[in-house]
A and B are shown apart, each in its own frame.
Chain A
């Protein structure tokens, strides 16, 4: 099986219709102590049909919260989410429940996301049952079809999630998410809990499904190499803010935000002495507390380019080249591209693990 992560990123002839658009998405939580945390702050982006957006950033930067907020669980404290032309934040609950069949979420822990008392068949059929799709025999056919699609043997239909491996369980979760032919699938760290070899199999599966079913998806991971493999575009988040968003290729080749560069330089390389290797950027200091983020640019406390302006003005997300936006007063220049090895994932295309059968 061959995967070509860049293929779907080629600019289409007609302007693509956005499936999802968020503007000023903000999620504020109140802590028991009374302090407020802006877990997601003013995040705006557009997701086109057939496109996969990768979201990266360190733990606690708001990637998962962003996705949950888009899915209205819970709804944002400010901002809008337009999904297929419908404004989700003002949709009444009953209608929103019906809309949910068009957007699905795959969780990080595959075992926890299945009811331990149910069989695999029950788990996969649940979405069909909830939305009363088809008769029980047509649902059954669909379950078999989905099992086949995600490469699970039908012998597992009557197994309980507890008796499956993490990889098998994640296949069930993906089958479940695909059951209703959703327009949008969000993968929330869907491979982070798996072993590396299993990760590769699941990534291959996702990449194959993406190509075959023309999926639109948001893919969250903290592993940049993983995100690169499946994403057309990548958004980098830091402390609840989107710092940079752009096509996967150009973002990896020439990161424009200092934080993106630091992140990319942290990807482990097979050969540390390779001359093309991006010089490791060591960030100074610690991640500031999200309850009390720095004024102005949230990254300024750890940025070596920061000056007074960065502590005064919040840098807006600006288009720096077509489809590439960055939120920085002093973005890195694209003319002097960062020296980098071709990413290992590029070379590894198609040989990441074996073709998934189990």
Chain B
């Protein structure tokens, strides 16, 4: 009795931690980021008399920063930026990288060689360094951060899409469709693209976390969203000088960043190992 129940409880717990808790954390945070700024105090209102108030001070649940702005409001505002950058850059990558990869994997030959050599060139630079260079070159703005992150992570999507496409193209149902006289358009849209989507989406979930970290890094270095718009990275940077006296200014956005990345990674892990998300394995 005990023998049979113990592992099941344990595996259940693992599944719970593996998928449900991260989902709840992310859902609550996303909801808070969307509606929170409506209720929390104005994130922009400065009150220098009340600067760096500690957490749980009256009217400021998470305290205030160096300009006396409410930390909770700013953190939620920052969450919006992080979520937007994460989702937008990954969506852009899925679209462009997916298309490039599928094109390369399906047509092979010169088209493949051409696309993939360019991707290899991009891949030769460390992601963060390349994103930094692009962001610095384009000038700091929300849109440019998205462009910088998308461009520097594009090869990963293209490679994954290409590999998946190549293995799907080998499968009988694709040859079968071709032997029916189906045009390439039909094969690409009806057979290849739908079967490439799920491995790409699984990867994308993990990549959102990556994109959020890169965004935070760029903002930390002052190359991201410009003040006074709050971003987790720039908030941590602002709090850095006060780590001694008012650690919460840096720690609050840091903790949120940590929580989001951990949740996304756990979720991606559970998707990869649990559900046959790839949709290809039989």
Contacts and interface: CB of A to CB of B under 8 A. Distances in A.
Interface of A: 71, 73, 96-101, 104-105, 107, 109, 111-117, 126-127, 130-131, 162, 176
B168 to A, nearest CB: 9
Contacts of A126: 177, 180, 182
Given A112-B173, A115-B191, A100 B180 contact: yes
A113 B176 contact: yes
A100 B186 CA distance: 15
B172 A104 contact: no
B183 interface: yes
Contacts of B194: 115, 117
A98 B180 CA distance: 9
A95 to B, nearest CB: 10
B180 A104 contact: yes
B282 A73 contact: no
Interface string B162-179: 000000000111011111
Interface residues of B, number: 20
Given A73-B175, A117-B194, A117-B195, A111 B181 contact: no
Contact of B179 (A71, A98, A112): A71
A116 B179 contact: no
Given A115-B191, A115-B195, A116-B279, A101 B173 contact: no
A139 B93 CA distance: 38
A288 B195 CA distance: 40
Contacts, number: 57
B104 to A, nearest CB: 20
B174 to A, nearest CB: 8
Contact of B282 (A96, A100, A101, A162): A162
Contacts of B280: 116
Interface string B239-282: 00000000000000000000000000000000000000001101
A101 B181 contact: yes
Question: 7 closest Cβ contacts across the A-B interface?
Answer: A100-B181, A113-B172, A97-B181, A112-B172, A130-B182, A115-B173, A107-B172
Interface string B184-201: 001000110011000000
B195 A73 contact: no
Nearest to B182: A130
B215 to A, nearest CB: 34
B180 to A, nearest CB: 5
Of B172, B180, B190, B279, most buried by chain A (CB within 10 Å of CB) is B180
20 contacts: A96-B181, A97-B183, A100-B181, A101-B180, A101-B181, A104-B179, A104-B180, A105-B179, A107-B172, A112-B171, A113-B173, A114-B173, A115-B194, A116-B195, A116-B279, A116-B280, A126-B182, A130-B182, A131-B181, A176-B176
Contacts of B175: 73, 107
A131 B282 CA distance: 29
A71 B178 CA distance: 11
A303 to B, nearest CB: 36
A209 to B, nearest CB: 19
Nearest to B198: A117
Contacts of A109: 172
Contacts of B176: 105, 107, 113, 176
A117 B279 contact: yes
A104 B177 CA distance: 10
Contacts of B190: 115
Given A115-B194, A130-B181, 12 more contacts: A71-B179, A96-B181, A104-B179, A105-B176, A105-B179, A112-B171, A113-B172, A115-B195, A117-B194, A127-B180, A130-B186, A162-B282
A160 to B, nearest CB: 11
B248 to A, nearest CB: 49
A37 to B, nearest CB: 19
Contacts of A111: 282
Contacts of A176: 176
Contacts of A117: 194-195, 279
Of B172, B177, B191, most buried by chain A (CB within 10 Å of CB) is B172
A265 to B, nearest CB: 34
Contacts of B183: 97, 130
Contacts of B195: 115-117
A112 B176 CA distance: 10
Contacts of A99: 181
Of B176, B178, B191, most buried by chain A (CB within 10 Å of CB) is B176
Of B177, B179, B182, B282, most buried by chain A (CB within 10 Å of CB) is B179
A105 B183 CA distance: 17
